[in-house]
Amino acid sequence: MPRWKWLIAKITNRLWFRSSIFCIVGISSALLALYGKTFIPDEFSRTLEAGAIEDILNIIASSMLAVTIFSLTTMVSAFRAVTANATPRSTKLLISDKAAQNALSTFLGSFIFSLVGIVTIKLGLYEDSGRIILFVITIGVITLVVATMLSWIEYLIKLGRVGETIKRIEHAATEAIKKTASDPYFGAKPCNIEDKGAPSKSTEIYQNRIGYLQHIDMSSLGTVCEDQGVEIHINVIPGSYCDTSTPIAYVVGTCGDDDADKIRNAFMIDEDRSFTQDPRYGLIVLSEIASKALSPAVNDPGTAIAVIVSMTRILSHWQSKKEPKNATNGDSEGKKDEDFPIIKYPSIFMPCVDTASMFNGAFNSIARDGSSILEVQLYLQKAFKSLSEMNADGFKENAERHSYLSYQRALAEMSIQEDKDRLKSTVLRKTKPKKV
């Protein structure tokens, strides 16, 4: 995705943007009635009393202002509840929810529409035909408000619940891991795993900002490669922490200051991580929810178990990971061209999300904080068994490693031998595996 498209997508996810659009539509709808003479025949122009539409608009204006304030107050309270019961990282996902943005934008847009309508009526700008048009538009606005309010009530009932928050994070993480699995190298060539460190005769590119990588503009990097005849070896992936001491990329070939700035600008750095291109972030946020549920103050192992099941579902989608045709180690016979991702940028080399890092982000803290709880440990072992049997690179090795580590943590914390024996029967590997 080019930088400008990514910036537009980021802006359109903001609440103020959608609200502004609805307000503009409301103002335009109210002003459209000024040209009612063009659309309404004269014989229908005097069928509506002058004060009827003004009374309706007054009701809409007063009620929509109250509903908007109430809705904002309810959302803020729900975000506080999510922060206290789940994790603060999940509130950003809830704020960008389309259902909430549509509801608030509809209420605010209806208020602005009615306000503009009242002002224009008081100024005497509407003729008889204009009031007819305004009345028809008002009926449409009332219908839209009623439909939105019905769905909004259902939304508010679920808002702030930990279970609903887990579902939303799972959905975002699932979309991210599916998107990454379909094109794990973002159109570039995969890095050779055996090659470590900087390529020979390369120029290091450093970022001048400190934060997390949210997006890479591959098309801009591809343009630099075509114009200058260079190769770019990317050293980070979305979600990576970037600072001024670690190179974000290596350039093989002649690279001037302008080219270095173009490459640097292709890496979008922000203060927080994003769910969009970073499948690991959703797993980490879910893990935080489970850790808080396992704290002595909350003591809710059921939520931790729900998170374990959710993360198993998310990781299962990594089975659909596609490797470029010339990078597959196995036999590619019988596979169609659409089974392989297209290499759009042959001069760019990109690393992939590490399976080990996904497992670490998902299960390390749960295994540590739930080490003394048998039920949590049993569900962890079930998850590891399920993941080990999936057809995905590194799943078997990482599942066995985490099964062993989780078992060792449990042995150190559990005091009842019967619990230890029951857990032992479910462990995938009881001896220390090789480091993945």
Sign of CA dihedral 409, 411, 414, 415: negative
* Two structure tokens written together for 164: 């609903």
Helices 395-413 and 374-388, interaxial angle, to 10°? 170
DSSP per residue, 79-131: HHHHHHHT-GGGHHHHHT-HHHHHHHHHHHHHHHHHHHHHHHHHTT---HHHH
CB 77 within 8 A of CB 160: yes
Helices 52-85 and 128-158, interaxial angle, to 10°? 20
Sort 249 into a burial class: Cβ within 10 Å, 0-12 / 13-18 / 19+: buried
Topology (CATH level 3) of domain 186-270: Aldehyde Oxidoreductase; domain 3 (3.90.1170)
CB 158 within 8 A of CB 97: no
Sign of CA dihedral 349, 355, 360, 363: positive
CB 164 within 8 A of CB 158: yes
Contacts of 395 (CB under 8 A, 6+ apart): 315, 318, 355, 387, 388
Question: What own/partner pairs with CB < 8 Å and gap ≥ 24 does 189-196 have?
Answer: 189/324, 189/327, 189/343, 189/345, 189/346, 189/348, 189/349, 189/350, 190/323, 190/324, 190/327, 190/349, 190/350, 190/351, 190/352, 191/233, 191/234, 191/349, 191/350, 191/351, 191/352
Cα distances (angstroms) measured from residue 304 to each of 93, 224, 284, 299, 395: 20, 47, 13, 10, 21
Q: What is the DSSP letter of 245?
A: S
Q: Assign 3-class secondary structure to 377-396.
A: HHHHHHHHHHHHCCCCCCHH
Sort 266 into a burial class: Cβ within 10 Å, 0-12 / 13-18 / 19+: buried
The DSSP bridge partners found for residue 250 are 204, 233
| pLDDT number for residue 29 | 75
| pLDDT number for residue 362 | 93
| pLDDT number for residue 329 | 46
| pLDDT number for residue 65 | 86
Write down the domain spans for the chain. 13-160, 174-181+278-323+338-344+352-424, 186-270
Contacts of 68 (CB under 8 A, 6+ apart): 104, 107, 108, 111
* Two structure tokens written together for 221: 């990097």
Q: Specify the pairing of strand 345-350 against strand 188-190.
A: parallel
Q: Which of 356, 357, 369 is nearest to 304 (CA)?
A: 369
DSSP per residue, 320-332: G----GGG--S--
State how far the Cα of 203 lies from the Cα of 232, in Å rounded to an integer.
9
CB 278 within 8 A of CB 151: no
| pLDDT number for residue 126 | 67
| pLDDT number for residue 287 | 95
| pLDDT number for residue 82 | 82
| pLDDT number for residue 328 | 45
State how far the Cα of 411 lies from the Cα of 370, in Å rounded to an integer.
12
State how far the Cα of 33 lies from the Cα of 108, in Å rounded to an integer.
20
Q: Which of 419, 280, 289 is nearest to 366 (CA)?
A: 289
| pLDDT number for residue 357 | 92
Q: Estimate to the nearest angstrom the gap between the alpha carbon of 113 and the chain centroid.
A: 32
* Two structure tokens written together for 139: 């009926």
| pLDDT string in tens for the chain (436-residue length) | 666 666 676 676 676 777 788 778 877 877 776 665 555 555 555 555 656 778 888 888 888 888 888 888 888 888 888 888 888 888 888 777 788 888 888 888 888 888 888 888 877 766 666 777 778 888 888 898 899 888 888 888 877 788 888 999 999 999 999 999 988 888 898 885 445 567 777 888 998 889 999 888 899 899 999 888 899 999 999 989 999 888 999 998 888 888 889 999 899 888 888 888 788 999 999 999 999 999 988 889 999 999 999 999 999 999 988 887 654 444 455 455 566 778 888 899 988 888 999 999 999 999 999 999 999 999 999 999 999 999 888 899 999 999 999 999 999 999 899 999 999 989 887 677 766 5
Sign of CA dihedral 157, 83, 374, 306: positive
